[in-house]
Amino acid sequence: MDTFDLRLPALRAAYREGRATPRALIGTLRERAAMLNPDYRLFIHLLSDEEIEPYFAALDEQDIDALPLYGVPFAIKDNIDLAGVPTTAACPAFAYMPGRSATLVAQLIALGAVPIGKTNLDQFATGLNGTRSPYGKCRNSVLANYPSGGSSAGSSLAVALGVASFALGTDTAGSGRVPAALNNLVGTKGTKGLLSTAGVVPACRTLDCVTYFTATAREASELLALTARHDPADAYSRANPQWNDAAAFGKIARFRFGVPRQLEFAGCDESPALFANARAALEAIGGEAVDIDFAPFIEAARLLYEGPWVAERYSVTDVLLETQPGAVLPVIRDVLAKAPGASAVDAFRAQYRLQTSKQRCDAVLAELDCVLTPSIPRAVTLDELERDPIGANSLLGHYTNFMNLLDYAAVATPAGFMANGLPWGVTLFGRAFTDQYLLSVADALHRKLAVPLAGHARHDTDAPAHAARDDRMKLVVCGAHLAGLPLNGQLTTRGARLVEATVSAPRYRLVALAGGAIARPGMTRDEANGAAIAIEVWDLPSAEVGSFLAGIPAPLALGKVELADGRWETGFVCEAHALEGAVDITRYGGWRAWLDRAA
């Protein structure tokens, strides 16, 4: 069992080939979890035989190939409802028995996944270390004198210790990323509203995200694609745009990634070299590093615990704190102490400050495909947390606290190990609804660094077959939309940016079209007599594509254009009938050369 591969593809193969059954495998995993629990405190409630049997019985009636997650064991953070099992949020006095499962849990079960238990967490998901629980401190999966990270402590351990294929956590300030970094996992904090939070005990309802812990980014991509659905039961649910669907996960080529000029490692001697190694690996797979000013991101992060959003946390526990203050851990009471003093005026002033930071941060991201940061400045020990529970915890959130305030997507991914064996990781983040693209970059980085997988010996070596996609579309232009020419403003006013100047594959003809107020060329494919044509590749926000397409006059259209390096990108093509009466200018090699011919 120690070597059983619980990754989604491997588990499917084992079931199909008859090497395992859900009952036998998950039974063994539950036994293992029960043995580990006294040392790691990862579970608050492991499902009993009676509680888990209905899930097995439901699978008995199904074909393996009918359910994408047939027999896949998963763990659930105990602030997320599972019908018939108490939800505690790590506070026994708060516990209740849900009559229905959280929307996301119900989705996963309908897809064939089997819940094995409810996992430990920092009480009310308030903490980033995993030690703030009356059910015990969650220690690290590798080194006993370090914490697991939190607040999704037990969920990260369930995957890292090999008792679940994946686990659900939540993330308000970093709770789905810090534990991933400390336990050699991928932690996916999707765009706010992408995964339903109906049936989740709020920390800050306006910020909360449900997260996935997995061994690989590819598994997270599959889970996200299966479950990113708008939920009418969640007022904060958002529809997933088409550019962020399953097909968006793919191969990474050229991209620009930001790197903070001001990096904080809190005195750690090893983290700078590990981060430099991750940066170099991204550059090796086609990334261009761009130094960025990180100050506005840090300014946004400071707002999270300055009053209004602490008051939002307090709104969940106020009755309990007023009637049974002893039921809440002292450190949680300390964090929430200033909440009653926060006023509506404070809330609006904080919103104004946040909006100012967001405007600056969005401007930075507009020029990039993603940003690379450490996941944490450095690890803290259990002894440090004992001496300074607030300060040591805050240090862990340095690179995470701003993410949901600014409405960004993020993926934490393994990036190596400290000399003492403790896992170390980085985070990739980007604009809302670039989740699958970020997972694509994380997958490429993880494989390039060849970091051993949690609980597994090796990586899959095969890269995705098609190109990754984000919230921008590559557009090939060959005429009046070239930089500096009359129609280029149709791109720049829509937020497009120039990616590269290059040439097409040597299979095109270029003609000067007759008529029109503005001189325009037409490019058509000609396998026998074509040549390479000078072109530019622009990057256009996907949300602007429709209005741009509507303004393209006949006989021009958008189709697929082959570039010299073999890539196929969307670009301007010309209908064949327009060639009649047009002047063939292929020999000039491009529209600019044709325009400059007289000069």
Could you give the 3-state DSSP secondary structure of residue 413? strand
| Whether 175 is catalytic | yes
Q: Edge to edge, what strands does the sheet with 287-292 contain? A: 43-46, 114-119, 73-77, 166-171, 209-214, 186-189, 408-417, 423-431, 370-374, 255-260, 287-292
Distances (CA, A) of 353 to 126, 304, 309, 310, 341: 23, 12, 13, 16, 19
Q: If residue 492 lies in a helix (H) or strand (E), which one and from where to where?
A: helix 489-492
Beta-strand relationship, 287-292 and 255-260: parallel
Residue 499: count of CB within 10 angstroms of its CB? 18
The DSSP symbol for 521 reads E
Query: Which residue is associated with the tokens 């929430």?
Result: 336
Rg over CA atoms, the chain: 26
Does residue 154 contact residue 44 with C-beta atoms inside 8 Å? yes
Residues 6+ away with beta carbon under 8 Å from 305:
335, 394, 401
The one-letter amino acid code at 591 reads W
Is 151 noted as a catalytic residue in this protein?
Answer: yes
DSSP string, 66-90: GSTTTT-EEEEETTB-BTTB-B-TT
118: which strand partners? 45, 76
The token pair at 443 is: 């997958």
Q: Which of 152, 156, 175, 504 is catalytic?
A: 175
Distance (Å, rounded) from C-alpha 587 to C-alpha 321?
80
Residue from 77, 189, 192, 358 carrying the catalytic annotation: 77
Of the residues 101, 148, 151, 155, which is catalytic?
151
Q: Angle 217-227/103-110 helices, nearest 10 degrees?
A: 100
Would you give the end-to-end CA distance of the chain in angstroms?
76
User: Which pair of structure tokens corresponds to residue 23?
Assistant: 């009952």
Which residues face 476 on adjacent strands? 537, 571
Catalytic site includes residue 141: no
What's 224-293 look like in SS3? Answer: HHHHCCCCCCCCCCCCCCHHHCHHHCCECCCEEEEEECCCCCCCCCCHHHHHHHHHHHHHHCCEEEEEEC
Catalytic residues: 77, 151, 175
